[in-house]
Structure 1
Amino acid sequence: MKKTIYKADTRGHANHGWLESYHTFSFASYYDQERVHFGALRVLNDDKVDAGMGFGKHPHDNMEIISIPLFGDLAHQDSMGNNSVIKENDVQVMSAGTGIVHSEFNPNKDKKTAFLQIWLFPNKQNVEPRYGQKSFSSLERKNNFQMIVSPNPEELNTWIHQDAWFYLADLDKGFSKEYTLQKEGNGLFLFLLSGSLEVAGEKLNTRDAIGLTELESIEVKANEASKLLLMEVPMEW
């Protein structure tokens, strides 16, 4: 097994006033040649958006885009005709494919919105753009890996054009859980939203991450009550 640690305080950081963003991988003005991507995982941004503010219309193509609200609401409009609001426990996916234009903003006048913005390289170029959104029960991730993204349309509405699987988990203090990879050769990227974990002989604290390759399974142990995002992604595609 090979591992790479991404400590929370080593991430790129940008504060635009209305937007505060932490970048695990190179993004915008933050560049680190050692942190451009982890396999197909290209962007992992940890964003907070002020009340009434947001991202104006902007284009994307040939990228799988996943948004996971952590608290607050995020309103979305796009060139496919979608007009929706996603909130805590929702997951949104977009296959940008041949090209989309969209905007995102915090529709609330009195509170911030926090969300994870994640991009993956697709395994197919120039697909027809598509949108998916689903609400998930937080109870189903209690001491369990709750699948929220997959490559299989028959499994989830939040499917993407990549052999990748995403899971959320809320683990009680002292609880251990084993994860077995879905596909040989994939890597595992674990991002700790809150708490303290032990994984692969390493201790992770809030907003730390670890990338693991050359493994079939891994044991995750919570040193305290912990919330995490686990992403299994291809290292080659």
Structure 2
Amino acid sequence: MASELLTEEQIEISGFGGIRERVLVMDPRQFGHYVREECWPGFGACVYLANAWFLPGGSTGLHSHEQIDIVSVMTRGELHHQGSIGDGEVLQAGQVQLQRSGAKGFRHNEQNPGADYPAMVQIWLLPQSHEGEACYQVIELKSGLTCVYGGEMFAASTRVDVLQLAAGDEWTLEDDALGYVFRGTAISANGQRLQRGDLFRLSGQSLSLTAESGFALVMIREA
């Protein structure tokens, strides 16, 4: 059973520019006194997590980031990327965009050129090192577990994975993790239901899940 649970109904819709979002994690290390009362603090190097969607024709506007790495899991639709790294790339559902700030940071603008409502889960992480060049990568998600930050990719104090299960698939999550469900529902061994929009924290225990439908979550763990 998840030690703690935060549901999307507990979070007000906010946003900026052409984006609407529910922000579930805001860490004082990054946001100071601007942290919203309903948000959870960070976990490991993770200082921000939001479920965001773009209005038709909307964009973030070109802006800068320094000393932060950004993982964006595309959950619906298509976005066009503009920026100092990866300029001209197109990001689609089933892909993950990784932008690492390196020593000098980066500028970016994510744009929705269409009339639909593309969506993403976005995570900010404090990098283990501020050295090297800023870099851009697109990662294709696969069934089961896909590492999208840290792990064997590069040295990081925190690892981020995306788990995708088909209906009936089973999986056991390790202890001490933060998880956000962005698709479907699953049932734990003791009958707890996790569903789209749920943020949960595990502490000192594991969690065995059986997917009721196509199920996907982002999992954040210490490396």
Normalised by the length of structure 1, the TM-score is 0.78
| Unmatched 5+ stretches in structure 2 | none
- After TM superposition, where is structure 1 displaced by more than 6 Å over at least 4 residues in a row? none
Letter in 2 for 1:120: L
Alignment partner of 1:82 is 2:87 = yes
Q: Which whole-Å CA distance do the structure 2 matches of 1:82 and 1:17 have between them?
A: 20
Alignment partner of 1:227 is 2:215 = yes
**Is the CA contact 1:193–1:226 (under 8 Å) kept in the aligned structure 2?**
no
Q: Which whole-Å CA distance do the structure 2 matches of 1:107 and 1:96 have between them?
A: 26
Letter in 1 for 2:7: K
**Is the CA contact 1:12–1:26 (under 8 Å) kept in the aligned structure 2?**
no
Aligned residues: 216
Residue 170 of structure 1 is aligned with which of 165, 172, 178?
A: 165
**Is the CA contact 1:2–1:214 (under 8 Å) kept in the aligned structure 2?**
no
Q: Secondary structure at the match of 1:190?
A: strand
The equivalences for 1:1-237 within 5 A come to 3-15=3-15, 18-26=18-26, 31-32=36-37, 35-80=40-85, 82-98=87-103, 99-108=105-114, 110-136=115-141, 140-141=142-143, 145-152=144-151, 161-172=156-167, 174-180=168-174, 187-199=176-188, 201=190, 202-215=192-205, 217-222=206-211, 224-234=212-222
| 1:104 positional shift | 0.9
CA RMSD in angstroms, aligned pairs only:
2.8
Normalised by the length of structure 2, the TM-score is 0.82
| Unmatched 5+ stretches in structure 1 | 182-186
**Is the CA contact 1:44–1:119 (under 8 Å) kept in the aligned structure 2?**
yes
Q: Secondary structure at the match of 1:37?
A: coil
Q: Which whole-Å CA distance do the structure 2 matches of 1:115 and 1:232 have between them?
A: 16
| 1:231 positional shift | 1.4
**Is the CA contact 1:64–1:160 (under 8 Å) kept in the aligned structure 2?**
no
| 1:184 alignment partner in structure 2 | none
| 1:33 positional shift | 7.6
Q: Which whole-Å CA distance do the structure 1 matches of 2:12 and 2:84 have between them?
A: 30
Q: Which whole-Å CA distance do the structure 2 matches of 1:95 and 1:199 have between them?
A: 35
Q: Which whole-Å CA distance do the structure 2 matches of 1:149 and 1:56 have between them?
A: 25
